[in-house]
Amino acid sequence: MAQSDAKSRALFWLRIAVSVGLLAALIHNRPDLDGAIPTEDQARTITLLSLGVAMAAFGVVLSAWRWQRVLQVYGEHVPLSRLTMHTLVGLTVSNVLPSTIGGDVVRVARLSKDIANSEVAFASVALERLTGFVALPLIGIAGFFSQPSLLSADQAWLAILISGITLGLLGAIVIVAAHPKAAGRFAEREGWVRFVGAVHIGVDKLRRSPRQAFAVLVAALCYQASVVASVALIAAAIRLPSPIAAVIAFVPAVAMVQVVPISMNGFGVREGMLIRLLGPLGVTNGQAVALGLLWGASLLLVSVAGVPAVVASRKQPAAATDDATAITPE
């Protein structure tokens, strides 16, 4: 256990170092950050930035709604308000508090207490995350369809490649999870492998119930659309010289890359990807970095709202360790 904790701490600080290094490299190239945020008509800028944060906050509710749709596949009914609080606490742990424990681990642990079923709690979070593998590429494709000329942009191929890899990875995961001789053989097992079996059960239920699968997909699309809308509002606030279709086409690719656990909350990776994708459209390095930092800042502001709930939960008597938290390292 001590060795595992030491490894988690090392990875935690390594991710911080990667983010600091990437941001330092971007800033070293002297992007015009001073001119990235307009100084005229500050009321408009503040209003749009506030709306961007509000949309990010609404995204927490949509994320919880997506989670609720997945739980209903397992026959579990948890109030949306409860799932919204769990989602917010998970964001707080991931984005605000210096911790080696991932927000998803916290969500699994909290939901396990609500439904008294750690296997379903784990599987619901895993499947909810997987929905992003299909929703984000679909939104990106919609952006290209809305303005086909974007396909001729210098870095359009990169966004398309990222979407293709994501869909391919999703397909491979679903095949393994759905196959009775792969993940299915763990459905009746004991020990930690039963969590893999629970994922198989969920995928199999979705495969047999197109109506439920459609409901989950709609919820996932709504949530991811709120993420893109939040970034679009921030882009409008700083008067980004690119069409809204470009935001719809390229932001999903950035969102897919930034979740790769090599940096802290995507800082550094997000800004670098925005420079790469939006630069050919006339967006300066300073504007791209400003967009990325403001995007990250909006998520931090929303996550801060969960601090009181985290503090309150830490004051409660410690409960017995749930084995769901033991098998889901960040």
Q: Tell me which residue of 238, 296, 302 sits closest to 269, measured CA to CA.
A: 296
φ/ψ (deg, to 5) at 242 = -145, 150
Residue 269 has pLDDT above 70, yes or no: yes
Residue 32 has pLDDT above 80, yes or no: no
Determine the pLDDT at residue 189.
52
CB 288 within 8 A of CB 274: yes
Full-model pTM: 0.85
Give me the mean pLDDT over the 226-251 stretch.
94
324 vs 54: CA distance, rounded Å: 33
pLDDT tens digits for range 121-144: 988 998 999 898 999 999 999 999
Determine the pLDDT at residue 292.
92
Residue 40 has pLDDT above 60, yes or no: yes
Element (H, E) at 78: none
Q: Tell me which residue of 95, 2, 57 sits closest to 226, measured CA to CA.
A: 57
Element (H, E) at 26: helix 2-28
Give the pLDDT band of residue 326 (cuts 50, 70, 90). Answer: very low
Task: Give me 23's structure tokens.
Answer: 């941001």
Place of tokens 């870095």: 155
Cβ neighbour number for residue 87 with a 10 Å cutoff:
24
Give the pLDDT band of residue 99 (cuts 50, 70, 90). Answer: low
Question: How would DSSP label each residue in 135-169?
Answer: HHHHHHHHHHHH-GGGGGSTTHHHHHHHHHHHHHH
- Domain ranges (residues) in the chain: 2-31+46-326
Determine the pLDDT at residue 177.
75
222 vs 65: CA distance, rounded Å: 10
Residue type, 97: L
Determine the pLDDT at residue 183.
60
Determine the pLDDT at residue 329.
31
Give me the mean pLDDT over the 316-326 stretch.
42
- Residues 319, 320, 321, 322: is their CA dihedral positive or negative? negative
Residue 110 has pLDDT above 80, yes or no: yes
Q: Residue 238 in 3-state DSSP?
A: coil
Determine the pLDDT at residue 30.
58
pLDDT tens digits for range 53-87: 999 999 999 999 999 999 999 999 999 999 999 99
- Residues 225, 101, 176, 253: is their CA dihedral positive or negative? positive
- Reading phi first (left if > 0) and then psi (alpha if -120 to 50, else beta), residue 282 is in left
195 vs 191: CA distance, rounded Å: 8
Element (H, E) at 125: helix 118-146
Place of tokens 């293709």: 164
Determine the pLDDT at residue 186.
54
Query: Residue 46, exposed/middle/buried by CB under 10 A (0-12, 13-18, 19+)?
Result: exposed
